[in-house]
Structure 1
Amino acid sequence: MDSILVRGNGALSGEIPIAGAKNACLTLMPATLLSEEPLTLTNAPRLSDIKTMSTLLRSLGAEVVSLQDGGVLAMSSHDLTSTWADYDIVRKMRASNLVLGPLLARMGHAEVSLPGGCAIGARPMDLHIHGLEALGAEIELKDGYLLAKAPKGLKGAEIALRFASVGATENIVMAAALARGTTVLTNAAREPEIVDLVKCLRQMGAQIQGEGTERIEIQGVDRLHGATHEVVADRIELGTYMLAPAIAGGEVECIGGRLDLLGAFVEKLDEAGVAVEQTNRGVKVSRKNGRVKAVDVTTAVFPGFPTDLQAQMMALMCTAEGVSELHETIFENRFMHAPELVRMGADIEVHGGTATVTGVKKLKGAPVMATDLRASVSLILAAMAAEGETRVARVYHLDRGYEQLEKKLMGVGAEIERISGE
């Protein structure tokens, strides 16, 4: 099993290119199931999760061809042969459940395994089921599979989500795009990935308005056609690399980054003493003066502070001046990186959904173990500012969400290498 070796090596300098968004691409790929015509995605990230979704779509009879070294995905669902999303594929990635809405809308039935993914807490499907049932679906759970059918077809409805779930919003919007009549979805998720999905669906002929707000209105159409769509920049990768010079020092420009994708995150960096500037090429980041200041963070749905940047922010707070509190409101079990940071000399106490971090002047290298995708990268960020050498074990999570991480960090001066098969 691979590990990553990091040696604290001082300030960073240079440029890091930001890839297309993993979470957006994983949502856009199932949209090909809605049409018999080709859907092509450009600026696709080169990640293992994208390969898993490709495998799932192919198992349904879709064609998925990776071009330009994986940066372009050419897909076609003109001849689907199955509506069975098998557990052996779905268990590897929670986003696999996003085939449910499109299959139900176009084929009238779907059999989708309950999803898997990394161990950061339960992500129940009840909101997805509630929304699709409101559109006329009949869904039962049997042997770990959601068996869904729409014997009378899908019909527009008014749906109010109890929680602004990104996945449920995506599944409902895709299903409603082919439903008869008008669907009004309230308390919808507002994330940039939702906006990007709607932009793509609109290019395919869907009639949707209100994306990026709490109220989305979908006027169903009889069919969707093909399209070519550029995947939006990955805001979580962007935020992660913005934290690198904040933690290790120096100045880095994140090429292709957009501050409007990050909401409250940018405000917290400013409050902590990190200079952030939108340039004509991306986002430039550096410390304002010396040691950063402790700030309190509460995760929230967009435009609030992203849960997917909480672990990385904790790494920054480990060496901040003062005491910070990080409140995790989205997922349980998402402080599993804290004990590993403590092994590096951090002062962290966790009580339920709150982590209290008392900043120390310096972290020290140590052997640590990654528990999930974002925890992995938080340990690498912390190691870049630590004295000595840190070995991060079980980094297979990283390849699910970060494209060429070692290469990008080496490009700005980090001393980092992957150790294979140990």
Structure 2
Amino acid sequence: LDDRYVASAKNGLRGAKITFRYPSVGATENTILAAVLAKGRTTIQNAATEPEIMDLIIMLQKMGAIIELGANRMIYIDGVKELRGIEHSILPDRNEAVSFACLAVATGGKILVKGARQADLITFLNTLRRIGGEYRVTNEGIEFWRASAKSLKPIDLETDTHPGFMTDWQQPMAVLLTQAEGTSGIHETIYEDRFGYTNDLNLMGADITVQTKCLGEIACRFKNKGFYHGAVIRGATKLRPARLTVRDLRSGIAHVIAALTADGESTIDGIEELDRGYEKIDKRLKNLGADIKRVQ
């Protein structure tokens, strides 16, 4: 058991007051799942409030849980003895919707993302429209395209907890901003080291500098800690093909969008990471007209 973590509660779990220093999605989900069958009341202070959290609460409530939402990121859970089976449809993936939206605008195409929900994407949709992207909400989902053939417009943005701009959206957005005429800035306030992929975009011809300075109007929790959590993107730059290796899931989709934006053939290694979050991505891109081939 040297390389494993083992947790046990011989007498069962009991309710508790829990305060998060930061509103983590994973921590909130796991605490809710533990609390619904614990004895007594659990109070979560500074909980995450992402749509996925709300959907989890709705599902558990259907199953017999007692969960209440309070003001200022408070969640109250009264434990129950058992849960029952139900039928529940999960939310569409917000990150997939944003990825395909960025792909449409970057390549000058038009993509309808079926099932995408405007209510879950308000902050992204505002950002996309500000830089020159456009969208139309339909009964099927949301259709995305570039508003005109002209270069996109630069923007300064910073990632934040919901309802702010998601950290998982900044990688595909960075590719778009390489095609914007002027200087853009991205201030990453969620993760301290998430700009490694910019080295790959620079290899393809982008002009991106990362720095430890806070780029937002308000200093974040990484101030003066030496973390490279700010990116300055100068554009527009013509992207060229390259051989890339996927660093993680979100940087991987940025690689794909950049490769499809560039003139010429690119090779991307380590695509099994992409498969973790984008099912049959090569087949779906082919259906959109991309010239893409998976090599075993």
In the alignment, does 2:101 pair up with 1:242? Answer: yes
SS at match of 1:285: strand
Gaps of 5+ in 1: 1-141
CA distance in 2, matches of 1:252, 1:212: 38
Aligned partner (choices 181, 188, 201) of residue 341 of structure 1:
201
Q: Is the 8 A contact 2:206 2:237 kept in 1?
A: no
In the alignment, does 2:191 pair up with 1:306? Answer: no
CA distance in 2, matches of 1:255, 1:211: 33
In the alignment, does 2:40 pair up with 1:208? Answer: no
Match of 1:56 in 2: none
CA distance in 1, matches of 2:72, 2:118: 18
Q: Give the TM-score normalised by the residue count of structure 2.
A: 0.89
CA distance in 2, matches of 1:416, 1:365: 13
Task: Measure how far apart 1:317 and its partner are.
Answer: 0.8
Q: How does 1:16-165 map to 2 (within 5 A)?
A: 143-165=2-24
Task: Measure how far apart 1:187 and its partner are.
Answer: 0.8
Match of 1:225 in 2: 84
Report the AA paired with residue 243 of structure 1. Answer: C
In the alignment, does 2:42 pair up with 1:183? Answer: yes
Report the AA paired with residue 153 of structure 2. Answer: K
Q: Is the 8 A contact 1:406 1:416 kept in 2?
A: yes
Task: Measure how far apart 1:285 and its partner are.
Answer: 0.8
Q: Is the 8 A contact 1:189 1:213 kept in 2?
A: no
Task: Measure how far apart 1:373 and its partner are.
Answer: 0.9
SS at match of 1:198: helix
Match of 1:171 in 2: 30
Higher relative contact order (CA 8 A, sep 6+): 1
CA distance in 1, matches of 2:93, 2:180: 26
Report the AA paired with residue 167 of structure 1. Answer: G
CA distance in 2, matches of 1:174, 1:212: 21
Report the AA paired with residue 378 of structure 1. Answer: A
Gaps of 5+ in 2: 212-227
In the alignment, does 2:131 pair up with 1:272? Answer: yes
In the alignment, does 2:230 pair up with 1:354? Answer: yes
Match of 1:367 in 2: 243
CA distance in 1, matches of 2:158, 2:146: 22
CA distance in 2, matches of 1:300, 1:144: 33
- Give aligned-pair identity as a percent: 40
Q: Deviations over 1:58-86 (max 9, x none)?
A: xxxxxxxxxxxxxxxxxxxxxxxxxxxxx
CA distance in 2, matches of 1:403, 1:211: 36
Q: Deviations over 1:314-340 (max 9, x none)?
A: 111111111111111212321111111
Task: Measure how far apart 1:368 and its partner are.
Answer: 1.8
CA distance in 2, matches of 1:301, 1:212: 16
CA distance in 1, matches of 2:57, 2:81: 17
Match of 1:322 in 2: 182
Task: Measure how far apart 1:199 and its partner are.
Answer: 1.4
Task: Measure how far apart 1:155 and its partner are.
Answer: 2.2
Task: Measure how far apart 1:301 and its partner are.
Answer: 1.2
Report the AA paired with residue 379 of structure 1. Answer: H
Aligned partner (choices 142, 149, 155) of residue 295 of structure 1:
155
- Taking only aligned residues, the RMSD between alpha carbons, in angstroms, comes to 1.7
More strand by share: 1
Q: Is the 8 A contact 2:123 2:163 kept in 1?
A: yes
Q: Is the 8 A contact 1:156 1:220 kept in 2?
A: yes
Q: Is the 8 A contact 1:245 1:252 kept in 2?
A: yes
Task: Measure how far apart 1:212 and its partner are.
Answer: 10
Q: Structure 1 residues 288, 211: closer, same or farther in 2, change over 3 A?
A: farther
Q: Deviations over 1:189-210 (max 9, x none)?
A: 0111111211111111111122
Q: Is the 8 A contact 1:343 1:368 kept in 2?
A: no
Task: Measure how far apart 1:406 and its partner are.
Answer: 1.2
Q: Deviations over 1:148-194 (max 9, x none)?
A: 23344322222221100111101111111011222221211011111
In the alignment, does 2:74 pair up with 1:198? Answer: no
SS at match of 2:250: helix
SS at match of 1:277: strand
CA distance in 1, matches of 2:250, 2:282: 15
SS at match of 1:227: coil
Q: Give the TM-score normalised by the residue count of structure 1.
A: 0.64
Match of 1:409 in 2: 285
Match of 2:223 in 1: none
